[in-house]
Amino acid sequence: MIRCLFVQISRNPSGQPIRRELLATGDTIRIGRAAGCKILLLDHRVNFHHAIIRHSDEGKLFIDAEEGAEITINGSPEQSAELSPGTHVLVGPYELIAETPSDDYDLVLSVELVHPLPDDHEHISIKHAPVTLAGAGLSKRKPALWLVGVIALVFLILPMIPASSPTLPKWVTGLQASIKKSWQLGDMSRGHQLISAKCDACHLKPFEAVPDKACVNCHKTVARHIENKTLHANVFKDMRCGECHHEHRGEIREGTLDARCVACHAKIKKKNDKTKLANIRDFSKDHPAFSLTFKTGHKDSDAVRISQTDKAKLVEKSGLKFSHKVHLDKEGVSSPEGDTVLECRDCHQPDAAGVRFRPISLEKNCQQSGCHALHFKPPVLKRQIPHGSEQKLMLTLREYYATAAIGKLAAGEKLQCGAGLGAGKNQLGHALDCANYNARINAEILFKPNSGCGECHEITHVADDKEVPWKVTPVTITSHWLRNSHFTHAKHSTAKCTECHDKTLSEKSSDVAIPAIEKCRECHVGNKQVKNRLNSGCDNCHSFHNENAHPSLVAAR
C-alpha cells in the first residue's frame, strides 16, 4: 500500500504559490486525465493513463511511463526511474517533484502546471461570435425561472412529501416510479436491497445524516470493537456507523482500509494507556507473534490466550492421550483390517464452510476400521461397554453381570465369584454381590492408566467414592486457536497439511502445531507489493466487529 501526499501548486496574481494537499492511496498510484486516476491532470497533452507509481521488489518507489506515453526525468526522456527526494518528473505540461517524505507518508509529490496554454480568447474576432438570445429577441429570465420552479417541484418538494405525513408513504409505494429515486446516489448494497424503497427506515429525518440508532434497530447483535462499553465510547467518541459503512454503492464491497486501523494501532497506547497490545503498522514489519486460545473448560468463555513466544506455556491440556507419530507411521498402523496407512484428512475433515474442521468422535473416527473397540475384560461376544460417563459404564457392567448371575441361579448353576461373598444372604443377595464383584474387577482393568479407557484418557482414582472410584478427566479440545481473527482452510487447500501443521513426529496430545507468524509471512506480506507474495491487509484476518471475541479474551488484550 502506497500512501502519497499529492500537493497541487497554483499561483496567485502576484506569483506566490498556493498549495492544496490531497491524499492518494493504493497498491499503485496512476497518473493521467482519466476519471479513475489517483493523480488527475486535466490537460489534453496528458494521456488518459500517462504514468504509474509502484513499489519495486526491494520496496523502493518507481515511476513508469504507460504504453504510448513519455516522461522526462531530470531533463532526460526516460521510461522508468526511482522517485528519490529531489527527482523532477515532467508529465506533459506538468512538473512533478518528489519531496522528502514524512513518517505518515511513503511519498510527498508536488505538482505544478509549468507550461500553460496561451489564452487566445482575445484573438477571436467579434464578427465570428455566436448570436445571443437577446439579439434573437428571446428572454433568458422567464424560461430560467420556470425551469427552476420545475426542478424544485420534481426533485425537492415531491421527495419531501412522504416525510411530512405518516399516510403518504403508503400512497407513494404504490406509484410506478419512485419520486425519491432522484435523491439516491446509487443502488443499495446487496444486504439492504430489501429496504431500498423505504428511505425512512434509515433516514429518520430529512437532511440529517443516518443516526447510529437506525442501524442498531436492525443490527442488534453486532459486537463492539472493544468489549468494554466505556472504553469503546471513549476511543471512538462520536464516530458514526456511516463513516465506515457507505451505502448506495451497489455490489461494490470496500474492505476496511489499513489506514483506518493504523490510525489507532500505530500508537495504541495513546488511545488506551492500559492496553497490552503492541503498536503495529504493517503485517510484514511489526505485527506481534500470534496469541493462541487455549480452552480451560466446556463453556466458550472458559479460555485463556497465550503468546507463541511463551513456548513453555504452549501446552494443550485436553485430557486425552494421543500420538500422531504412531497413527501417521508411513508403514501403517495395526488394525483388524490389517496395517492401515492413515493421512490427516482421515480424521480431520473440513466443516461445511471450509473454515475449520468437524468435531472428532470415537464412533466416526476411531472405530471406523474396527480399532479401539470397547470390549468387556475379558471380551463378551456381541457386547461392548458404552462410551460415556463413568456412572453409565459401571451401571452397564452391573446390569450385565447381575443378569448373568440371575440366569445361572435360574438354571441351577453355582455362582463363581470372590470367596466369602453372599455369606448369610439369600440367593438374590448373593447374585447381586457377585455381580458387583465382577463389575468392579472388570472396571479395574478398564480404568488402568495405560489400557482400556486409560489408553486414550487421563484417569484419576477417587478414594471416597465406593460406587464409582475412578474419574476420567473431561475432554477439552480447542477447535478455534485464533479467536480474534478469521482463517479459512478452504483457501489454503492447495497446500499439504504438514506444510503448516507438522505433527508426524509428535508423541503427545499436548503438542501444539499452530504455525507461527513467520510461516504465514512466507506467502503473505503487508501493504507493499512483493513478487510471488500475497498482499494482505488488516481485514484479511481481522474484523472490526469481532463477534468471536469473548469477554475473558478481550480482557487479556
Residue 190: name the closest of 140, 133, 250 by CA.
250
What per-residue confidence (pLDDT) applies to 240? 87
Residue 133 confidence class, pLDDT cut points 50, 70, 90: low
Residue 120 has pLDDT above 80, yes or no: no
In the predicted structure, residue 256 carries a pLDDT above the cut 80: no
Q: Is the pLDDT of residue 129 over 70?
A: no
- Report residue 72 CA to chain centroid gap: 44
Q: Of 485 and 140, which is predicted with more confidence?
A: 485
Strand partners, 23: 5
Q: Which three cell numbers stand for residue 237?
A: 467518541
Asked whether the predicted pLDDT for residue 121 surpasses 50, the reply is no
The partner residues of 73 in beta bridges, in order of sequence, read 76, 89
377 with 446: CB under 8 angstroms? yes
Q: Does residue 172 have a pLDDT over 70? A: no
Query: What's the chain's length in residues?
Result: 557
pLDDT at 125 (0 to 100)? 46
Percent of the chain past pLDDT 70, that is, above it, reads 88
More confident position, 528 or 354: 354
Q: What's the pLDDT band for 207 if we cut at 50, 70, 90?
A: confident
Supply the pLDDT for residue 126: 47
> Is pLDDT of 144 > 90?
no
Look over the chain and give the mean of its residue pLDDT values, rounded to a whole number: 84
What local confidence, expressed as pLDDT, does residue 64 receive?
94
Kindly give the pairing relationship between strand 459-461 and strand 80-82.
unpaired
Q: Render pLDDT for 50-89 as a digit per residue (tens, 0 to 9).
A: 999 999 888 899 999 999 899 999 999 999 999 999 999 9
Residues 6+ apart with CB under 8 A from 262: 280, 281, 282, 538
pLDDT band at 528 (very low <50, low <70, confident <90, very high): confident
Residue 231 in this model has a pLDDT that exceeds 60: yes
If we measure between CA atoms, which residue out of 163, 56, 41 comes closest to residue 109?
Answer: 41
pLDDT bin (cut points 50, 70, 90) of residue 531 is confident
Residue 519 pLDDT: 94
Would you state the pLDDT for residue 552?
39
Q: Give yes or no for residue 423 having a pLDDT over 70.
A: no
pLDDT given at position 557: 37
- In 3D space, the residue among 310, 343, 313 whose CA is nearest the CA of residue 329 turns out to be 343
The mean pLDDT value for 206-234 works out to 87
CA dist 418 → 214, 377, 437 (Å): 76, 17, 7
pLDDT digits (tens, 9 = 90+) for 276-285: 889 998 998 8
Helices (H), 447-516: 497-500
For residues 353 and 376, what is the distance between their CA atoms, to the nearest angstrom?
A: 40
| pLDDT 10s digits, 297-347 | 888 778 899 999 999 999 999 999 999 999 999 998 888 878 889 999 989
* Domains in the chain: ranges and CATH: 2-115 (2.60.200.20), 145-173 (no CATH), 184-243 (no CATH), 375-472 (no CATH)
Residues 6+ apart with CB under 8 A from 462: 468, 469, 470, 471
Q: What is the mean pLDDT of residues 254-268?
A: 80
- Reported confidence tier of residue 554, pLDDT bands at 50, 70, 90: very low
Q: Of 69-73, 191-195, 473-477, 504-508, which gets the smallest average pLDDT? A: 191-195
Q: What is the pLDDT of residue 65?
A: 94
DSSP for 408-431, please give it. Answer: HHHTTPPP--STTTTTTS-HHHHH
Write down the pLDDT at residue 112. 93
| 134: three-class secondary structure by DSSP | coil
- Residue 192 above 60 pLDDT? yes
